């Protein structure tokens, strides 16, 4: 077993999880409790009902053309009169779920956002039918401003934000990461041997990608302090003052500790950026929507920050693959590209010459789009159009939810699970107003000290290999957690996702963890007595 564990220690936490699942599932007639998955077990229903209803309306539109052909041939929707036809559809189907939401969405787009409702309806029908390439490739014209409003609401809120930003709709947040790393390399913004700072602990791909042969970047680790509610100490953030650090990649709120960065720290970064206007920031804010009045680094340092957002977690939509990359219209990336040496610029002119006659004016965000299809296939780039429709409907759903009822339900759900877990462990976690509670870290030292005192905790950390506890939990109780250290955490901990199981399951996981600690406490006492 020990040799096995040593071998398994090389695996990313996500691969290790598969080994734990095998163990947890090895006992017949026992329920496996897999809290390793970040995938939510809830999903937003109303905007999905809206999607299907929009699909039905779009089918009516399609079947108005070529009606003389009985073989199942339809045509594109027609702009003229579409708003009236939609009103008839909405009235006829008022009883159907999703129709009221959809009618409200059309009214919101027209009456609140000031967009042309016919154009919006036409674009959405065409998109949901999937009968055209995504044009413009970066994002559909009717989709981008709506998603921009949503990102402003959730990521900027009341924070003053001047100017506009561009959005690239991607196949989830992970595709966004891949595209960003690739385009930064192609455009010489990151070269092999360059240093990037990484906010730790972090979603593991951000640790693994820089090491790949493709990138070979040096990593400067910015360590969050668990004793300070997982905030970054000022001295850690000051590492960004080193001009050798080209970029800072972070997840906020973090994964796995699920703590959002304090406004003080965000403003410290903004101050550093004033002294170092060349510093590139990349913030992955997937979990921002689970916080109250969240403020992104994108709001605080807009000219230097690439914002990555994903619809996967908040809307329970991992299978939809919906993500966005946003950059301010005046940003450090375009400035850095403009400042490249002439020979490099000429090389890049060549790279992008097939898609524009003025390649030097091609923005970083449009280079991302082109590079996502190896430039040559730029004309087929972009997120599939039905995906963009669901993205728009998720966004409108959150924008129209003035009392924030969905957000309150999300928070109630995941926080109730957290309480059930700790109640059964018999330990109260330290209060942390910045904790958004999507994950929680069961810190071995902290839990065992709180349960049975410091001497026991010290003995436990000295005598057991923390990962072996995760194997014991899986084998004995069927409980699967991910190793917190695999995410770059410094203290041995198990990551519990609070998204994936029901409240009673978290109570069972709490019980299993308690039983495990108690077993070791017995050993500790009998060791003392011999």
Q: Is 119 a binder of ligand PLP (CB under 6 A)?
A: no
- Does residue 173 touch ligand PLP according to CB under 6 A? yes
What order of strands is seen across the sheet that includes strand 245-251?
A: 165-170, 323-328, 305-310, 280-284, 245-251, 195-200, 218-223
38: contact with ligand PLP by CB under 6 A: yes
Residue 96 or 223: the one with the smaller Cβ distance to ligand PLP is: 223
Residue 251 in the binding site for ligand PLP (CB under 6 A): yes
3-class secondary-structure state, position 170: strand
Q: Considering the rule CB under 6 A, would residue 252 count as an interface residue with ligand PLP?
A: no
285 is an interface residue for ligand PLP by CB under 6 A: no
Radius of gyration of the chain (CA): 25
User: Per CB under 6 A, does 255 bind ligand PLP?
Assistant: yes
Q: Indicate which single residue of 145, 226, 288, 323 sits in contact with ligand PLP (rule: CB under 6 A).
A: 323
- Binding piece for ligand PLP, criterion CB under 6 A, among 18-26, 172-180, 224-232, 504-512: 172-180
Contact characters 457-476, ligand PLP, x per CB under 6 A: --------------------
| Alpha carbon distance 463, 482 (integer Å) | 20
Q: What is the rounded distance in angstroms from the CA atom of residue 291 to the CA atom of residue 338?
A: 37
290 sits in the region (left: phi over 0; alpha: psi -120 to 50; else beta) called alpha
Question: Long-range contacts made by residues 177-184, C-beta under 8 angstroms, separation at least 24?
Answer: 177/205, 177/206, 177/209, 177/284, 177/308, 179/325, 179/368, 179/371, 179/372, 180/282, 180/306, 180/308, 180/325, 180/368, 181/209, 181/214, 181/215, 182/371, 183/364, 183/367, 183/368, 183/371, 184/247, 184/280
Number of residues binding to ligand PLP, judged by CB under 6 A: 14
Shortest distance in whole angstroms from residue 156 CB to ligand PLP: 19
Q: How far is the CB of 249 from ligand PLP (least distance, A)?
A: 11
CB of 285 to ligand PLP, least distance (A): 9
As measured in angstroms, the least distance from the Cβ of 119 to ligand PLP is: 29
Closer residue to ligand PLP, CB minimum distance, 207 or 370: 207
Q: Which is closer to ligand PLP, CB of 98 or CB of 484? A: 484
DSSP designation for 231: B
Interface residue with ligand PLP, options 47, 134, 172, 288 (CB under 6 A): 172
Query: Is position 283 an interface residue for ligand PLP (rule: CB under 6 A)?
Result: no
Indicate whether 312 belongs to the interface with ligand PLP (CB under 6 A): yes
CA distance readout (Å), 62 to 67, 105, 383: 9, 21, 22
Which of 486, 489, 493 is CA-nearest to residue 447?
493
CB 237 within 8 A of CB 265: yes
Q: Please identify, among the stretches 124-132, 227-235, 310-318, 486-494, the one whose residues bind ligand PLP according to the rule CB under 6 A.
A: 310-318
| Residue facing ligand PLP at closest CB distance | 172
Per DSSP, which regions of 158-227 are E strands?
165-170, 195-200, 218-223
Q: According to the binding rule CB under 6 A, does residue 318 interact with ligand PLP?
A: yes
Residue 477 binds ligand PLP (CB under 6 A): no
Give residues in contact with ligand PLP (CB under 6 A): 38, 172-174, 203, 251, 255, 284, 286, 310, 312-313, 318, 323
């Amino acid at each position: 077993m020990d040799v096995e564990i040593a071998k398994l220690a090389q695996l990313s936490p996500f691969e290790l999880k598969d080994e734990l699942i095998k163990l947890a599932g090895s006992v017949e007639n026992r329920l496996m409790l897999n809290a390793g998955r970040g995938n939510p077990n809830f999903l937003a229903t109303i905007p999905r009902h809206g999607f299907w209803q929009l699909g039905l309306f779009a089918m009516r539109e399609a079947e108005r053309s070529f009606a003389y052909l009985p073989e199942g041939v339809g045509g594109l929707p027609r702009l003229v009169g579409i708003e009236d036809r939609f009103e008839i559809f909405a009235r006829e189907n008022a009883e159907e779920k999703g129709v009221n939401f959809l009618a409200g969405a059309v009214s919101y787009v027209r009456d609140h956002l000031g967009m042309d409702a016919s154009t919006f309806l036409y674009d959405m029908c065409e998109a949901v039918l999937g009968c055209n390439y995504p044009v413009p490739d970066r994002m559909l014209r009717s989709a981008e401003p709506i998603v921009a409003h949503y990102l402003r609401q959730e990521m900027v809120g009341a924070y003053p934000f001047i100017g506009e930003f561009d959005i690239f709709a991607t196949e989830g947040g992970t595709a966004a990461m891949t595209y960003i790393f690739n385009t930064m390399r192609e455009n010489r913004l990151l070269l092999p041997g360059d240093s990037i700072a990484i906010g730790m602990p972090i979603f593991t791909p951000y640790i693994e990608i820089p090491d790949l042969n493709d990138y070979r970047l040096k990593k400067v680790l910015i360590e969050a302090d668990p004793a300070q509610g997982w905030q970054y100490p000022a001295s850690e953030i000051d590492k960004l003052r080193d001009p050798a650090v080209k970029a800072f990649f972070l997840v906020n709120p973090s994964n796995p500790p699920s703590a959002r960065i304090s406004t003080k720290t965000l403003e410290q970064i903004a101050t550093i950026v004033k002294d170092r206007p060349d510093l590139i920031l990349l913030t992955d804010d997937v979990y921002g929507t689970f916080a109250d009045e969240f403020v992104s680094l994108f709001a605080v340092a807009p000219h230097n920050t690439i914002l990555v957002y994903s619809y996967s977690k908040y809307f329970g939509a991992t299978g939809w693959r919906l993500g966005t990359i946003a950059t301010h219209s005046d940003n450090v990336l375009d400035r850095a590209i403009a400042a490249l040496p002439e020979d490099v610029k000429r090389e890049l002119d060549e790279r992008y010459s097939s898609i524009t006659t003025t390649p030097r004016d091609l923005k970083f965000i449009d280079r991302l789009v082109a590079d996502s299809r190896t430039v040559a296939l730029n004309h087929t780039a972009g997120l599939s159009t039905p995906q963009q429709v669901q993205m728009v409907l998720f966004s409108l759903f959150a924008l129209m939810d003035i009392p924030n009822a969905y957000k309150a339900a999300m928070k109630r759900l995941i926080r109730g699970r957290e309480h059930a877990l700790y109640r059964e462990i018999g330990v109260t976690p330290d209060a942390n107003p910045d904790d958004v509670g999507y994950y929680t870290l069961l810190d071995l030292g902290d839990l065992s000290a709180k349960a049975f005192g410091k001497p026991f905790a010290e003995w436990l950390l000295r005598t057991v290999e923390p990962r072996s506890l995760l194997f014991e939990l899986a084998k004995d109780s069927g409980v699967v957690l991910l190793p917190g250290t695999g995410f770059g955490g410094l203290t041995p901990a198990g990551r519990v996702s609070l998204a994936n199981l029901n409240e009673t399951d978290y109570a069972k996981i709490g019980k299993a963890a308690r039983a495990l600690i108690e077993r070791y406490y017995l050993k500790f006492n009998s060791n003392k007595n011999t």
